[in-house]
Amino acid sequence: MSNQIFLKILLIIFLFSSCSISENKHYILNNLNESCFDLNKFKKNYKGMTKEQIIYIFGNPIISDSFNNVFHYIIFEKESRSKCHQRTLNIFFKKNKVSKLDIQ
């Protein structure tokens, strides 16, 4: 009788552990498809927005040049369904407000 209980417990443990192993997926946070943008998104008028508003929209900049009041971002332009091209987005500020957006 104890062998049957032992086998049942072993079977239950095996079944529960196999369920967690069967779906072993790895998710990549910085997926290239998710970070590719259509440049039409950047044609919106961001002039007059504050630094805090820009950080809320785009996130923290890669480089923040405090002497020239410039935020630098690395973005990927979507060229086709499977190709992206790296670009640099520079956002210039005057008196804590956006004065110019430059994409290189």
Could you give the number of structural domains in the chain? 1
Q: How far is CA 82 from the centre of its chain?
A: 17
Indicate the pTM of the whole model: 0.58
Residue 21 confidence (pLDDT)? 54
Residue 25 confidence (pLDDT)? 53
Check which CATH number belongs to the domain holding 42 and give it: 3.30.1450
Structural domain contains residue 63 = yes
Averaged in consecutive runs of 10 residues, what is the pLDDT profile of the chain (104 residues)?
82 70 50 59 80 86 79 80 80 90 84
Q: CA 58 to CA 52: how far, in whole Å?
A: 10
Structural domain contains residue 5 = no
Residue from 74, 70, 73, 72 nearest 93 by CA: 70
Question: Structure tokens of 84?
Answer: 């992206």
Residue 93 confidence (pLDDT)? 92
Domain that residue 90 falls in: 30-103
